[in-house]
Amino acid sequence: MSLARNVQQALVFDLGGTYLRCGVWSGSGGMRAISKTRIESLVNGHDSQTVWNNILCRIQAYEAMVRALTAANDPIVVSFPGPVQGRRHILSAPTVLGDETRIPDLVGQLEMCTGRPVYLLNDISAAAWHFSVDMTVTRFMVVTVSSGIGSKIFDKSHPAGVIDSPSWAGEIGHIVVDDRTEAPLCDCGGSGHLGAIASGRGIEREARRHASQDPQVFCLSACATELGGTPATLNNEDHIVPGALAGDVWCRDLIRRATKPLARVILALVVGAGLERVKIMGGFALSLGDVYLQILRDEIIAGCQYSVLRDEVSSLVELGDVGEEACLMGAGEFANRMLACRQ
């Protein structure tokens, strides 16, 4: 693909399960007025309508705040954590709205209240576009480990670049990896899904279950002895991530057990799609950095007994190097190329 560069601007938003990130992107690659705010979620006890209204209000407020920095026809591009169709329609939003089937018309609502053209982009597709700028390999995959689990394959030899059609392409978080009757529930309502087990949100929930079921062992962990956590209050930011970074065995064993099924799914995709690299991103994975990367690599190596691939496994997987802003930057890169195509 040889797309002309474009110097126009776009208002870009990255809607995650926990945070809304906002920015103004220019075709030269710059990002201004970056904003990050925590959003109300179902996890905090809010109903889906309240969650959605809050998200819409925050996007509208940001658009009004930066109106003086942009032209009236500069588009809005929203990186969204779920499958989308035709750049306009949300098909499901489990990490935002749970199993709610009445999906709001985000594009229509934003176009009506801002007067700007609006485009939807799956969040992992956005990240793949961003990483593609500097990747030297032809075919790679981006995997996010955050509130949920998702992936996208980018193929430089394919005219679409990101393989995000059909709409379920990359939705690996909804593969069943635990078929027990007591398997954890996914935000979408399914049971035993990969995202319910290996995501940051899934690991947090499993930590609380494990701490409640085996309090004597939990009381010896750094989460309890040094970080003040209890089975009812355990969370990633204050307890599990700091504990794992400090080398706490309880935390690392918890993460390793949860990460094992993700490692097996990644390995299957590497072999099946002939992937040359796998980029790991997402707030949970990046907050752990090399600790998470080593756990994932170890589990992939443990699951690979194929001699042709085994020597390559340790170099296949790497962390994304742009922090938590990959999807925001990718939405801008997509807007830049999209606008170039339209000219």
CA 288 to chain centre: 15
Distances (CA, A) of 141 to 16, 295, 326: 19, 19, 14
Q: What was the pLDDT predicted at 1?
A: 37
**Sheet harboring 9-15: ordered strands across?**
31-38, 19-26, 9-15, 76-80, 118-122
Q: What are phi and psi of 291, to 5 degrees?
A: -60, -45
Co-location of 201 and 302 in the same domain: yes
Domain ranges, residue 64: 9-128+324-342
Residue 115 identity: G
Domain with residue 218: its CATH number is 3.30.420.40
Give me the tens of pLDDT residue by residue for the chain, a chain 343 residues long: 333 334 478 999 998 767 899 999 987 768 889 999 887 765 556 567 788 888 899 999 999 999 998 999 899 999 988 788 888 888 877 667 666 667 888 899 999 999 999 999 888 898 898 898 889 999 999 999 988 899 999 999 988 889 988 878 999 999 999 999 999 999 888 999 999 999 999 999 999 999 999 999 999 999 999 999 999 999 999 999 999 999 999 999 999 999 999 999 999 999 999 999 999 998 899 999 999 999 999 999 999 988 888 888 878 999 987 667 888 888 988 887 765 554 4
- Specify burial of residue 235 (Cβ count, 10 A radius: 0-12, 13-18, 19+): middle
Q: What was the pLDDT predicted at 99?
A: 63
Q: Does residue 102 contact residue 237 with C-beta atoms inside 8 Å?
A: no
Co-location of 276 and 300 in the same domain: yes
Q: Which of 69, 71, 72, 89 is nearest to 80 (CA)?
A: 89
The encoded tokens of residue 263 equal: 């490692």
Q: What was the pLDDT predicted at 7?
A: 40
The encoded tokens of residue 127 equal: 């990240």
Co-location of 150 and 214 in the same domain: yes
Classify residue 50: in a domain, yes or no. yes
Q: What are phi and psi of 49, to 5 degrees?
A: -65, -40
- Total number of domains constituting the chain: 2
Classify residue 2: in a domain, yes or no. no
Q: What was the pLDDT predicted at 284?
A: 94
Co-location of 134 and 149 in the same domain: yes
Q: Which of 122, 100, 105 is nearest to 16 (CA)?
A: 122
Classify residue 54: in a domain, yes or no. yes
Give the number of C-alpha atoms closer than 13 A to the C-alpha of residue 174, restricted to the C-beta side: 16
Stated as kind and residue range, the H or E segment containing 126 is helix 123-132
Task: Identify the DSSP state of 148.
Answer: S
Distance between CA atoms of residues 279 and 269, nearest Å: 13
**What's the pTM?**
0.79
Q: H helices within 303-325, ranges in order?
A: 307-316
